[in-house]
Amino acid sequence: MGHGTTDRAKIELRGISKSFALNAKGANGSVQALQSVSLSIAPNEFLTIIGPSGCGKTTLLRIIASITEPDAGEVLIDGQPVSQPGPERAMVFQTFGLFPWKTVLDNVRFPLTVRKVPGPEATERAMAHLGQVGLERFAHGYPHQLSGGMQQRVGLARALATGADILLMDEPFGSIDAQTRELMQEELMRLWQEERKTVVFVTHDLDEAVLLADRILLLSRGPGRVRDILPVDLPRPRLDYDVRGHAAFAKVRGELWQALRSDLLEEQQEMDR
């Protein structure tokens, strides 16, 4: 287990709505990103979020992280309303978010330093997390010396080092090549199996959404509403064989694609009018 505790890992969303002002020249008013999103995420659950572009996936993740404030509704972590970022939640972004001037080790040690963990302990814990993602021998290198996949593993190690029980991941594998992406998905599943954190993972990749999840939240096209919540009935661990060949995989992926396709076609028709 990690340094976190599992009792602070239940997430409840109650009636989350969010609009953004339109600041473009000549445009007034606002655009609604999310509308009345309510959802309960169990401790240690792996939830993926998918939906058409612009349906508010990232906004929802940022609201769970308390980086963005909702206009209405509330987020509860283990029954307590939250409105500020907290140590129980760590965010992993698509753009690795590493400090280029810090070594790999210092990047992973950073959240521990912020929390005033004593130097030797911070180094030991950071090295242990680098070990988990297979990068201890790059500890004294710099981000620019690493491939995209390796940089993303450093980002993952840093999120684990926070000791947070909840990992909020915004398309973290979106900018790496397909083969590295598959390796990273395996890596994440292995770490999740070990650490049993609650993971909320935004993706636009149907296969990735099904492969990783216990349940999939499908958002409607903007404003994002809960269109469906699909359970993924695939055996775990999913590392020992390729579950993509499993009948349940094809079934869930097919349902997702049908729903997304109808949204995309509707959007296309509206644009053609």
Instruction: Say whether pLDDT at 242 is over 90.
Output: no
Backbone angles phi, psi at 96, to 5 degrees: -40, -25
CB hemisphere CA count around 90 (13 angstroms): 22
Mean pLDDT of the chain: 88
Q: pLDDT band at residue 14, thresholds of 50, 70 and 90? A: very high
Residue 240 pLDDT grade (very low, low, confident, very high; cuts 50, 70, 90):
low
265 vs 245: CA distance, rounded Å: 28
The helix/strand/coil state of 215 is strand
Secondary structure of residue 33 in the 3-state scheme: strand
Pick 6-88+164-272's CATH classification: 2.60.40.10, 3.40.50.10490, 3.40.50.300, 1.25.40.10.
Answer: 3.40.50.300
Where in the chain does DSSP place strands (E)? 11-21, 30-41, 46-50, 72-77, 80-82, 89-92, 166-170, 198-202, 215-219, 226-231
Q: Output phi, psi for 271, to 5 deg.
A: -70, -30
Does 153 have pLDDT greater than 90?
A: no
**Between the ranges 14-28, 34-48, 163-177, where is the mean pLDDT highest?**
34-48
Which of 103, 107, 224 minimizes the C-alpha distance to 160?
A: 107
Residue 215 scores a pLDDT above 50: yes
Tokens of 181: 């992406």
Question: What whole-number distance in Å separates Cα of residue 49 and Cα of residue 177?
Answer: 21
Residue with tokens 């401790």: 43
Per-domain residue ranges of the chain: 6-88+164-272
- Does 46 or 243 have the greater pLDDT score? 46
Tokens 């239940």 belong to 10
In this prediction, residue 8 has a pLDDT band, given cuts at 50, 70 and 90, of: low
Of residues 208 and 148, more confidence is placed in 208
Indicate the range of 21-25, 179-183, 214-218 predicted with least confidence.
21-25
pLDDT category at 7 given cuts 50, 70, 90 is low
Q: What is the mean pLDDT of residues 153-168?
A: 89
Mean pLDDT: which of 55-59, 96-100, 174-178, 237-241 is highest? 55-59
CA distance 153 to 141: 14
The residue type found at 68 is T
User: What phi, psi does 165 have (nearest 5°)?
Assistant: -85, -15
Which pLDDT score is estimated for 2? 42
In this structure, what token pair is assigned to residue 92? Answer: 């992993």
Residue 115 has phi, psi (to 5 degrees) of: -85, 10
The larger pLDDT score, comparing residue 197 to residue 271, is at: 197
Residue 1 above 60 pLDDT? Answer: no
pLDDT digits (tens, 9 = 90+) for 74-86: 999 999 999 999 8
Number of alpha helices (DSSP H) and beta strands (DSSP E) in the chain: 7, 10
pLDDT digits (tens, 9 = 90+) for 87-146: 899 888 877 678 999 999 999 999 888 888 899 999 999 999 998 888 999 999 999 999
- Exposed/middle/buried for residue 198 (C-beta within 10 Å: 0-12, 13-18, 19+): buried
Say yes or no to pLDDT of 165 above 70. yes
Give the separation between CA 134 and CA 140, rounded to whole angstroms: 14
Nearest to 163 by CA among 108, 99, 95: 108
Main-chain phi, psi angles of 118, to 5 degrees: -55, 145
